[in-house]
Structure 1
Amino acid sequence: MVFVVEYRSFGMLATLPRSLGKALRPYVGHAAAAMIQEVQRSVDAYSLPLRGVFGRVLVVSCERAVRQYVDCIGDPDVRHDAWAGFYRMRGRIEFTEGRSLEPLHDSATIGARAGWRAMRPIVRGLGVGPDVVALAAESVFVYVDELCATTIEGYQEAQAKADGAVPARRRRLLELIAQAPEGSACSIASLAEGAGWRVPKTAAMVALQRTPRAQDFPAGLLDDSVLLDLQAAEPYLLAADPDADLAPLKDELIGWRAAVSPVVPLADAPAALRTARRALLLTSDDAPGPVIWCRDHLATLWLLAEDFLGAELAKQSLDPFTSLSEKQQKRLSETLLAWLETRGGAPEIAQRLGVHPQTVRNRLRQLEELFGDRLKDADDRLGMQLALRAQRLMRAHRRDEGSPEN
């Protein structure tokens, strides 16, 4: 089955004033030049000199994209056959020259932004209303996504002639979802159709880690709905229903560790994958079982999401400790955290810490001298508690890694 691009952008453009298209037509070359310059500056794969087939294809692609966009403004009768044929050919060229879909999508998104930046002052200078400007801007990115989807059709046509086309498509699809370029829904749907994969509304991203004693990953036990890339530098997979999809792997992940993100909308897949990879870093090799479920460690992952934020919070919330020795800081930190977590008296805190109640009373007096009224302020107490918990978690993480504590 061939995926059919709906080309919704053409209908959007047709509702704009035709006078806007006429006014923008002299600036097609200006916008295309801005696109080419920014793409060559920002995307390594397209930074080559503008010579030969490469140069002609890049220049014509940008010029044709802008011209078709402008021609469609206010005109519902513009034909798109030749335009679509050209970008399918562009997709075949991309595959033939060995480029992946990542630079293609990057160049389209970056080029769209550059082209709109070049055109925006002209549009506003024409005195059109804000609704027209907003629709013109929205249509740019819908148009570019559909252009990418058309290019993917050609890419798939060329890819279908190569060995292992479907597995390669599935890896490309997973790569695109994991990166989620701006406005990629149409492109994801196009790739999914070619890969025979049904796009779910939500999914979990699973980060994988091979240990030295690892056997081959049991990919054959996974359902076809699971997308998997074992060739990536950091292997990973996508599962729409992780509890069910990963169940067959329960006793088969010999030498492998896996961290499963929460189930999220597909647009949040990049953040979910970062969370899963973070979970692998923050958990030790001797964690119970090979599968780590991030949903069971959300507070820890949140507190340790960015080391520098934890350090800044500690600097701000625990600044009275800076005048103390490391030993004093450690004793008072554990006492302060126990008090914040329990708000109990000296006997209860003493039992929790395994020290004498009088020792706790002495420490609490020291804390009152150091922090004063800040101990009565709810926001200050929350900052202290979060900072102390983050410090405790980070110390445990460093011990797991075998690193000396500071």
Structure 2
Amino acid sequence: MIRDMATGQARRLWLSLPAELARRFRPHADRLATRILDEIQHAVPEYAKPLEGQFGEVIVRAIEQAVVSCLDSIEDTRSTPDRWGKLFHEVGKRVYHDGGSLNSLQAAYRAGGQAAWRYVSNFGQSMRLPVPMLCVSAEAIFAYVDEISSYSVEGYTLAQARATGTLERRRRRLLELILATPPSSPAAVASMAEAAQWRLPEWVTVVALEPLTEEQFAPTLGDDVLLDLEGAEPCLITPDPSRDLPEMPHWRAAVGPRVRLSDAATSLHWARRTLELMRGGVIPAAQVVHAADHLTTLWLLQERFLLDELSARVLAPFASLTAKQQLRLAETLLAWLKCNGATLEIARLLDIHPQTVRYRVAQLTELFGARLGDPQERLKMQITLEAHHLLGTKPE
């Protein structure tokens, strides 16, 4: 499914530039193509080799014709409607058939775009071109890179899908593309979804899985579910977890937030973090646990380094105490914050005598002083103490 580049954003931007600019730049075309190739080979290890044979011929021709295409667009020189699309589609196919990776292909386009912009920027400054014209040129370069990159990614993924052979493998590859970090291009996902016969939903939920038995029973789920039970960290993508999870009695499931398809990797991250905290006893164990039910816990514990830094600052007065004193006064301080200083409520919560509460609060007042009356300091204390309480760690 090759689109017509002539209707793209990049062409509209090129056409907004004066034709005289293209005529003045044409003598630089070969030099720019060489600079782009050099930058790609320098920045992308997979391309740091002699470009020989059909593969090298296609890459070099694509770079040269990409430069010419931009100049033609500025002068509104019409090309065969699908000529450029077919060329960059072929680049993607050729990279796949030569064993290249999709990540390196996309990195090559980014490196080429940056090299082109540096060259054009230097040219523009030497010619004293207006800043707005240079800004449009930069926007056009990167829009053009996005367009031709999408053609190559589409060619790559379609070639890959045809070579893969089975629908199941195509769906596994689709799941990998959807969950990739950094995100795969929409064109790559759409092409693989077409090859995998999977209709792209707007909203999905990602579920992290863990077997409850030694034998990993494969569930029978709908055609709209993408499933990986063989990887090191099993998971699935579904538009309807309430329908599918009851069909998985032999698996523990941590359900990530419901997100748009493009944010599926984020849903997986929080699903796996939920499963991790459940394994550690921080979140109560259950066969199905929803990240959405534990958002405060996930937020508080998302970065242990920051917790330790905050703790060292906020709870610094505890540093001189023994471990036993730290735990006792931290417990009392958290209760005092939760109960707004009500002695009897604190006593009931901690199951201690009210006089003991008063004695401990007096110690806390001596340690923290005016900070106990500062709303911002109290909030920091409660956040820190709640996190330590969840982790079962010593506040210090």
TM-score band w.r.t. shorter chain = 0.7 to 0.9
* Contact 1:261–1:276 under 8 Å retained in 2: yes
Aligned residues: 392
Of residues 43-52 and 6-15 in structure 1, the stretch that sits farther from structure 2 once superposed is 43-52
Aligned to 1:279: 274
CA, structure 1 residues 41+224, in 2 after alignment: closer, same or farther (shift >3 Å)?
A: farther
Shift of 1:110: 4.1
CA, structure 1 residues 361+157, in 2 after alignment: closer, same or farther (shift >3 Å)?
A: closer
Tell me the secondary structure at the aligned position of residue 163 of structure 2. Answer: coil
C-alpha distance after superposition, 1:134-179 (max 9, x if no partner): 4433333432332233224433553454353544443333333323
* Contact 1:205–1:273 under 8 Å retained in 2: yes
Shift of 1:77: 2.0
* Contact 1:203–1:264 under 8 Å retained in 2: yes
CA, structure 1 residues 192+328, in 2 after alignment: closer, same or farther (shift >3 Å)?
A: same
* Contact 2:158–2:192 under 8 Å retained in 1: no
Aligned to 2:196: 195
When normalised by structure 2's length, the TM-score is 0.84
Q: Write the letter of the residue equivalent to 1:276.
A: A
Aligned to 1:333: 330
Aligned to 1:347: 344
CA, structure 1 residues 127+73, in 2 after alignment: closer, same or farther (shift >3 Å)?
A: same
2:242 counterpart of 1:249? no
Aligned to 2:256: 261
CA distance in 1, matches of 2:184, 2:18: 25
Aligned to 1:240: 239
Of residues 104-113 and 332-341 in structure 1, the stretch that sits farther from structure 2 once superposed is 104-113
When normalised by structure 1's length, the TM-score is 0.82
CA distance in 2, matches of 1:42, 1:214: 46
CA, structure 1 residues 214+374, in 2 after alignment: closer, same or farther (shift >3 Å)?
A: farther
* Contact 1:90–1:154 under 8 Å retained in 2: yes
* Contact 2:371–2:377 under 8 Å retained in 1: yes
C-alpha distance after superposition, 1:43-93 (max 9, x if no partner): 454444545555444444444434433432342624454432322222222
CA distance in 2, matches of 1:291, 1:369: 46
* Contact 2:4–2:81 under 8 Å retained in 1: no
2:123 counterpart of 1:122? yes
2:85 counterpart of 1:84? yes
Aligned-residue Cα RMSD (Å) equals: 3.3
Unaligned residue ranges in structure 1 (runs of 5+) = 397-403
CA distance in 1, matches of 2:108, 2:232: 23
Q: Write the letter of the residue equivalent to 1:342.
A: C
Aligned to 2:176: 175
Aligned to 2:372: 375
CA distance in 2, matches of 1:324, 1:74: 77
Aligned to 1:392: 389
* Contact 1:31–1:116 under 8 Å retained in 2: no
Aligned to 1:304: 301
Q: Write the letter of the residue equivalent to 2:368.
A: F
CA, structure 1 residues 54+332, in 2 after alignment: closer, same or farther (shift >3 Å)?
A: farther
2:318 counterpart of 1:321? yes
Unaligned residue ranges in structure 2 (runs of 5+) = none
CA distance in 2, matches of 1:42, 1:405: 47
Tell me the secondary structure at the aligned position of residue 179 of structure 2. Answer: helix
C-alpha distance after superposition, 1:326-362 (max 9, x if no partner): 2211111111111112213222112111222222212
Instruction: Describe how 1:15-26 pairs up with structure 2 within 5 A.
Output: 15-26=16-27
* Contact 1:395–1:405 under 8 Å retained in 2: no
- Larger radius of gyration between Structure 1 and Structure 2: 2
Aligned to 1:184: 185
Shift of 1:316: 1.9
